[in-house]
Amino acid sequence: MNATSRKRHTLHSILLMVCLSFFTCLLMITMFIGCAANNANFKMAKSQYEEAAASSEIMANSPAHMQEAKKNLDLAADKHDDTDQSHYSYLATKHVEIARAESNRKSAESALVDQRTSRNHELLSARTREADAAHKATKLANQRTQDAEDRAATSKTEADAARASASDMAARNKELRKDLTDLQSRETNRGLEITLQGTYFEVEKSDLKAGAMHNLDLVAKAMRNYPGQEAIIEGFTDNTGTDDFNQELSQQRANSVSNYLIKQGVQSSRLIAQGYGEKYPSVSNDTSSGRQQNRRVDIVLLNKGQKAQDSLRK
């Protein structure tokens, strides 16, 4: 009896233990299923945290929120209750997001500082360049002013010289004319032209008449007084006779004037004798007095500095 009772008691105990362990298993399985069901939120939070934690920038910029995220993640891992785990996972996720935002803010702030620095640098170098340019421009302007002044001075000198030479020339021509008062003379743009009428020559010959000598002496004297003065001696005829004869005659008459002047001491290099025949009549050949006027030799006392070679009639 006693033995059966003990046996039953043992059986009860075993049954109870089996039941207990069964329930424990059931509970654990339920818990496990609970965890598994909840893993979605938790897993997401975990992966987000790990992704952020891999960034050294976020870890450095927002350590406090990353720490909070980790704490909440650990809490979530410990919770078996579905809503609790979700709750702490949610908080962990949000802390990670805050850490990201904070990190972005700090990066932007430091980028801003960099940019301001580079902008200041840019401004500074722009100002330096501007200052340099202004300096250069000033120098250039000064140089230009100097050049202009130099030019003005030069042109003033030139103008003065021109004025001086003009007045000099006028004075000289006046002198010449005074010397040559007896001669028929006129000022042209080539210089002072003296006309020796045909009456100074033997008819149809190139020999000078005695009366001409006196006037040519005046010319020779004037030319001796003005060394460097060059002259052109131009011979002309009327339109009677052949061209060849007229050309020849005009040339010979010019030559004889030239030769006379040379004889009077004028260097031959200062003289050019040129016959033009019946060309360049000074008046019409229709009347005998006109023809007489056209038979002539012109002595052109050239303006100072003009060369006889360059001043021939074209």
Question: Which residues would be at the binding site for another protein (CB under 8 A)?
Answer: 83-84, 87, 90-91, 94-95, 97-98, 101-102, 104-105, 108-109, 111-112, 115-116, 118-119, 122-123, 126, 129-130, 133
Q: Within 13 Å of residue 35, how many CA atoms lie on the same side as its CB?
A: 10
Cα dist. 48→43, 86, 138 in Å? 8, 14, 65
- Phi-psi label, residue 305: left if phi above 0, alpha if psi -120 to 50, beta otherwise: left
CA angle, 174 then 176 then 181, to 5°: 90
Nearer to another protein, 39 or 117 (CB): 117
Torsion of CA 181, 187, 193, 196, to 10 degrees: -50
**Nearest distance from C-beta of residue 60 to another protein, angstroms:** 16
Beta carbon of residue 140, minimum distance to another protein (angstroms, whole number): 10
Other Cβ atoms less than 10 A from the Cβ of 240: the count is 14
Query: Residue 102 or 187: which CB sits closer to another protein?
Result: 102
Both tokens assigned to 212: 């001409």
Residue 84 or residue 187: which is nearer to another protein going by CB? Answer: 84
Q: Which is nearer to another protein, 44 or 218 (CB)?
A: 44
Strands 296-302 and 191-197: antiparallel
Instruction: Return the number of the residue (65 or 295) whose C-beta is nearest another protein.
Output: 65
Minimal distance, residue 112 CB to another protein, in Å:
5
Give 134 or 161: the residue with its C-beta nearer to another protein. Answer: 134
Minimum distance of another protein from residue 133's CB (angstroms): 5
- Please provide the size of the chain in residues: 314
The nearest distance, CB 117 to another protein, in angstroms, is 11
Residue 46 beta carbon to another protein: minimum distance, rounded to whole angstroms: 17
Q: Least distance in Å: CB of 58 to another protein?
A: 12
CB closer to another protein out of 112 and 170 = 112
